[in-house]
Structure 1
Amino acid sequence: MSNGLAGRTALITGASRGIGRAIAFALAASGCNVVLSSRRQDSLDVVAKEITAACPRSGVLAKAAHVGDPDQARDCVAAAVAEFGRVDVLVNNAATNPYLGPMVDLDLPRAHKTVEVNQMSVIVWTQLAWKASMAEHGGTVVNIASICGMATEPPEAGIYNTTKAAVIHLTRQFAVELAPKTRVNAIAPGIVRTQLSRAMWENREQQLAATVPLGRIGEPEDIAKAAVFLAGDDSSWMTGQTVVVDGGTLIRPTVHIA
């Protein structure tokens, strides 16, 4: 059940924890060689050892890079190609949320940081993977967006929501530009149990779960399963789409009629 992924090479940003780590494990379990990227080499090395132990047939490369630094991104993609010959799957997962508050009070440094990591990195890493490998060999790109890019709640996360809305549109735009050789799709998770979203679910998980039709918040593995589907051949006639994985959060009734 490799979904055609056996022997392919996947590069995952933000791979040291949370959703990125889960996606890396799932792709390795599907037979991919995996290139792990995040800011800290020591954290990546731990994950690399865990994946190697669990999936000994998959090659693993851990390469630290700041996702918002184009030079470091270029070095990481080059290292992936040098190690495995090509990049078949790119998962743009890394994200940040340094500001919680109304947009009218947002300071420019934190606005620039959020856009750099959440939005511009999708452009830069996709460009690099395309030019280094996918233009010749084809491939798939999976962008991690958010249901917050489809709605206006929570209002204190306005700049984060805005960048995730941009990721959804970038997915469509790149899908048009890179077709037919490369497919580009996105996943829009709901609230998932990660460090990035801890402020949203910690100390009120039961309250949040009660608002989700399927009765719980998400786990990183829920998103990883969707990523494997979009990365592999089972989704071969899909591009430009954003798959919502949120336990039904977006379909919950917002108006109650007596």
Structure 2
Amino acid sequence: MPALPCDTHDPAGPDGVIDAVVDRLGRLDHLVNLIAAPPRPGRLTELDPLALRGALDRHLVMPLAWTRSACRRRLAEHGGSVVNVVTDAVRDASQAAATAALTELTEWLSAELEPRVAVRTVVPSPSTSAAAYRTALTDAVPRLLARPGGEAAHRVHGPVLVLTAPPERPSHAA
């Protein structure tokens, strides 16, 4: 599987990566946005509103940027799927607010793009343990990427682009 370097936080980055995938593989059928949700301690009412920008960027702006690029280059014309996966349990108010925004974005994109492009989001329940959620993802994501109908409905067809950001490190890390 080829690796394509890019800054997953740069809104201009998706176009080049999507173009490279289509140029190298000839097509792009699926986009998976893996969205990390690092904990931010504190209550939402005590949070500096500017601190929400990072969470909204991860949960809303970048998934939209990647979906937009994939649809412009390939998915809108040829069909496929987009799955946004919140990779960690949502355990604080700022994450919950950003995840709610992602859920709403998914509904709008689904209304715009279906039936050619299926758009889904996977978010853990607050009552689900992190281990149980990760286990469930291994089954859920391939099913969401599968094209409906026929015996092979459970199989993923075509190239899948999985996006993940490097883990966030504290500023004092070496």
Q: TM-score if structure 1 supplies the norm length?
A: 0.52
Instruction: Count matched residues.
Output: 150
**Aligned-pair Cα RMSD in Å:** 2.7
In 2, the alpha carbon distance for the partners of 1:226 and 1:216 equals 15
Shift of 1:95: 2.5
Whether the 8 Å CA contact 1:67–1:117 is kept in 2: the answer is no
Equivalent residue in structure 2 for 1:161, among 77, 96, 101: 96
Whether the 8 Å CA contact 1:137–1:181 is kept in 2: the answer is yes
Whether the 8 Å CA contact 2:35–2:84 is kept in 1: the answer is no
| Unaligned segments of structure 1, at least 5 residues | 1-59, 192-210, 237-258
Whether the 8 Å CA contact 2:88–2:130 is kept in 1: the answer is no
| Unaligned segments of structure 2, at least 5 residues | 154-174
Shift of 1:145: 4.2
Shift of 1:219: 5.3
Equivalent residue in structure 2 for 1:70, among 4, 7, 11: 11
Runs of 4+ with >6 A deviation: 146-149
In 1, the alpha carbon distance for the partners of 2:93 and 2:115 equals 34
Higher relative contact order (CA 8 A, sep 6+): 2
Aligned to 2:81: 140
Structure 1 pair 103–134 and aligned structure 2 pair: CA distance change class (3 A): same
Q: TM-score if structure 2 supplies the norm length?
A: 0.74
Q: Structure 1 residue 184 and structure 2 residue 125: aligned?
A: no
Aligned to 1:223: 137
Identical columns (%): 25
**Partner of 1:135: helix, strand, or coil?**
helix
In 2, the alpha carbon distance for the partners of 1:62 and 1:146 equals 20
1:94-118 deviation line (CA, Å, top 9, x unaligned): 2243622111222344311111112
Whether the 8 Å CA contact 2:28–2:74 is kept in 1: the answer is yes
Aligned to 1:4: none
Larger Rg: 1
